[in-house]
Amino acid sequence: MGFLEAVYSLGKRESSTDFSPEWEDIDNFLTLPLPIIEDQDRKGRIIRVWLEAEEPLGKQLEVRDIAKIDVVDFLAGEGTLQEKRRKYLYRDPVGANVTWSYSPTYKLGSPKKADREKLLEETEWKDKQDSRFYKLYNRVLADLEREGVFSKGSVDLIMTKLVERRGEICDLWSDPKRSYILMFGCEDKSVFLYPGDIPAFISYFRQKLAKKSGGGDLIKCSFCGCSEESSASFSDVFKFSTFDKVSFLPGNNKKHKNKVFPICQQCNAMFTKGKDVLRNKFSNGSIINGINIDVVPELIFGHEQLAAVADNVSDFIKKGLRIEKNLFSFLARQGEGLVFHFMFWEKNQAQERVHLIVEDVPPTRLKRLEELWRKSLEVYSPFKKDNTESKYLDFAIRNIVWVYLDLAGTGDSEKKFQMDRCFKVLGQLLNGQKVDVRGLKTNMVSRFPGLFASGDWSQVGPTKSGRMLLVLDFLERVNKAGR
């Protein structure tokens, strides 16, 4: 089984829990608006806007005022993760420049001093496209009134009240270590009704989801092989490609995008759910600067036999790895019954640019790589003895990246070229293949004159050259050890 199959299995396993007939048609399309962060000082927060409406549970919301604005921690309160997805009723917009969203939620992000000062000054926002109030109005709220969720005039009233109370919002949008969202709900008997508690918002979500799936020609699903008229494109799930510009390729034309890796609605639902689980439980962005690493675990026995594998494997599948500081070392300690699929990617505006995908990596291979790295450290280590992190495989991977970036010049194109070489080496290591050590040595020798001529070489030279020697020793040991 490969990367896509494993993502599908994650979605299928998650969909089998917390099943509810009431939510069956949209459950698999719900995602969390913020990442799950275990660090209490960095957890996301929700700035809640309590709308005072005539009938909060009616088909249309006639807004009379904003009763209150407050802030709560993301995922606070009782309930399973799926119950919280339903409560937030969120799904990422289909693009950055669309004029509607699935739910009444706007991402504020992490506050900078300049951002808060700018918000305080935004009294006239209607013609300022970079204004947060402008984006909130045009990308979230206005379409809710156009579609009849809000009564006529409600959105203008909401915007007027928000501008009047922008100081309150700034006071709540205060911690630069946290990410914030602005979420609209209704006040009902002193209780805040979240979007998923309000029938008008739920109906709107369903309506937009139905329009997105649409109808059309009979298309065969590229994943399961079934044929149906209502299909989606795999790019609706993973943004490996974007369709903002027309090209000579038919798939780069928005009118024909569903002909490029089309998937049926069932597969679309499973992949969407699988991606949500993947990004919230099995993703890491701290090892390589600017690069996200998705790790898709696959049970060799299949997810139905989860109870039959070792307890630590079962816990890993259920809990994920977001709290693990040393990702690869942690994966190396997992027991039999698992293999991993890795995807290294970076965010490039709306696109998810993939640098490397490696499939079917057993924990034993990672364990062997870590053992070889520690043997290299015993022979020569440029690091201080009190460096407790150097023994982990994650540190080895960081050092390989550092070496390649040190060999790059100052230009972005040269750094990109060296990182492409680096990803090739990382792929060979994870695949159990021989590494081109001679190519790396040639690369080093060609760059030595420039490095030696650097004014700060006398200070940084011993550490940099030490890292180079250590990485070379490690890669040579990997090659000698074979598969």
* Cα(63)–Cα(187) distance, integer angstroms: 11
- pLDDT, tens digit (0-9, with 9 covering 90-100), for 41-57: 888 999 999 999 999 99
Give the residue, 129 or 314, on which the prediction is more confident: 129
Cβ contact 145:50 at 8 Å: no
Q: Which of 45-49, 83-87, 455-459 has the lowest mean pLDDT?
A: 455-459
Given this model, what pLDDT does residue 304 score? 47
For residue 120, pLDDT beyond 60: yes
Given this model, what pLDDT does residue 421 score? 92
- pLDDT, tens digit (0-9, with 9 covering 90-100), for 96-105: 778 999 999 9
* Cα(92)–Cα(270) distance, integer angstroms: 16
Q: Which residues contact residue 418 at a Cβ distance below 8 angstroms, ignoring those fewer than 6 apart?
A: 404, 405, 407, 408
pLDDT grade for 227, boundaries at 50, 70 and 90: confident
* Cα(199)–Cα(268) distance, integer angstroms: 25
SS3 296: strand
pTM over 0.95: no
* Cα(313)–Cα(320) distance, integer angstroms: 10
* Cα(401)–Cα(100) distance, integer angstroms: 41
Given this model, what pLDDT does residue 305 score? 47
What does DSSP say about strands 45-53 and 180-188: parallel, antiparallel, or unpaired? parallel
Look at phi and psi of residue 337 and say left if phi exceeds 0, alpha if psi is from -120 to 50, else beta: left
Half-sphere exposure of residue 138: CA atoms within 13 angstroms, side-chain side: 14
Enumerate the H helices of 407-436 as residue ranges.
Answer: 412-431
Given this model, what pLDDT does residue 104 score? 97
Buried b (16+ CB within 10 A) or exposed e, 423-460: bbbbbbbbebeebbbeebeebbeebeeebeeeeeeeee
What is the percent of the chain with per-residue pLDDT over 90, rounded to a whole number? 43
Give the residue, 339 or 197, on which the prediction is more confident: 197
pLDDT grade for 313, boundaries at 50, 70 and 90: low
* Cα(451)–Cα(461) distance, integer angstroms: 8
Terminal-residue alpha carbon distance, the chain: 20
Given this model, what pLDDT does residue 232 score? 77
Cβ contact 279:295 at 8 Å: no
Sign of the alpha-carbon torsion through 373, 378, 382, 383: positive
Nearest partner of 429 among 327, 354, 361, judged by Cα: 361
Given this model, what pLDDT does residue 218 score? 74
Displacement of CA 110 from its chain's centroid (Å): 16
Give the residue, 179 or 4, on which the prediction is more confident: 179
Separation in Å, CA 260 to CA 221, 351, 426: 10, 16, 29
- pLDDT, tens digit (0-9, with 9 covering 90-100), for 144-171: 999 999 999 999 999 999 999 999 999 9
Given this model, what pLDDT does residue 258 score? 57
- pLDDT, tens digit (0-9, with 9 covering 90-100), for 256-305: 555 677 888 888 888 888 888 888 888 888 889 889 999 988 876 544 44
Adjacent-strand bridge partners of 351: 348
